[in-house]
Amino acid sequence: MKDSTLYIIGNGFDLFHGLKSSYKDYSEFAKINTPNVEEFLKVYFPPKNKDDWWSHFEENFENFDARQFYDNHDNVSERFMEQEHPQWSDYFGVLDEINEESEKMRLGIKQSFRDWINEISETEIERKNMHFEKNALFLSFNYTPTLEKFYNIPKVFHIHGYIGDDNEENLVFGHGVEVSEGETSELDENGENNRTPSYDAEAASHTLFYKFQKPVKNIIDENQSFFDSLKYIEKVVVLGHSLNEIDMPYICKIRDSISDSSSWIIVCYTDDDRQRAKTVMGNIGVAADSRKLLSWEEYEKGLF
């Protein structure tokens, strides 16, 4: 029998089960266990909303302050023009230092994040009355094996990787912006060369912006077979996914891969979640009579 239901699992699912899986929880973990990472994130990834840094953890990666990062490693420019015979090679040391520090912090951030996921994955959950149909597919945006460990779901597609698949170093997290702000192209609009003695070092200072770029289009292309398997889906159940902007290409791809007559159930925490779900459903063309918005309590009681 063909799978007729798709469950989309987001972090709200783990939170509902009592796991400390919010990015605010990660901030507490990083502060205690990897304070150098916590400090680096706050210094070089300034939030647009300074009062709510951790709530927008992934989005903040798009704000990487490459200029500050460069300035803090540039020990050449101030004295460069004062030299009688300045050499472009003077900047090679700056370039090397920026590359080394970028790689060091890339590895440090990813290791800190993996260690946190490992810790919360070992936590016992609060059992809930979940309703999972037998003929179903599971698409999880979580890094934890909650479905496998506690609900004995044998096959879950973790689209961004997860702890437990022996490929933990490849957990995918980050922003969805394509081009780093302030980056200078090698040629200007007239085709003239923009290269300066510091060009390579300044270009390298944007590396962390790109290292924490979530390659959504590539992930979709690489997993086309999964999306092709959705053609028989009659019902989509969204459990704990915020339908955020970064992951919207996945949601749109799902919408395009299933029948127009398929129904959607979205389980929401707050009134803001409910309003966003309405907006997103409208934007991707899901009619009001084809969608139902529920609270977690309603979903547990089977009121759908």
Give 134-147 pLDDT, tens digit per residue.
Answer: 889 999 999 999 99
Question: Exposed, middle or buried by CB within 10 Å (0-12, 13-18, 19+), for 267?
Answer: buried
**pLDDT number for residue 50:** 62
CA distances from 262 to 128, 235, 280, 292 (A): 26, 5, 16, 12
Contact 137, 7 (CB under 8 A): yes
Chain mean pLDDT for the chain: 87
What is this structure's pTM? 0.89
The tokens for 166 are: 């022996």
pLDDT at 283: 95
User: How far apart are the C-alpha atoms of 93 and 9, rounded to whole Å?
Assistant: 46
H/E stretch holding 239 reads: strand 235-239
Percent of the chain predicted with pLDDT > 70:
87
Angle at 149 between CA 298 and CA 130, to 5 degrees: 10
- Is residue 191's pLDDT more than 50? no
- pLDDT for residue 187: 43
Strand ranges in 146-205 using DSSP code E only, listed in sequence order: 157-158
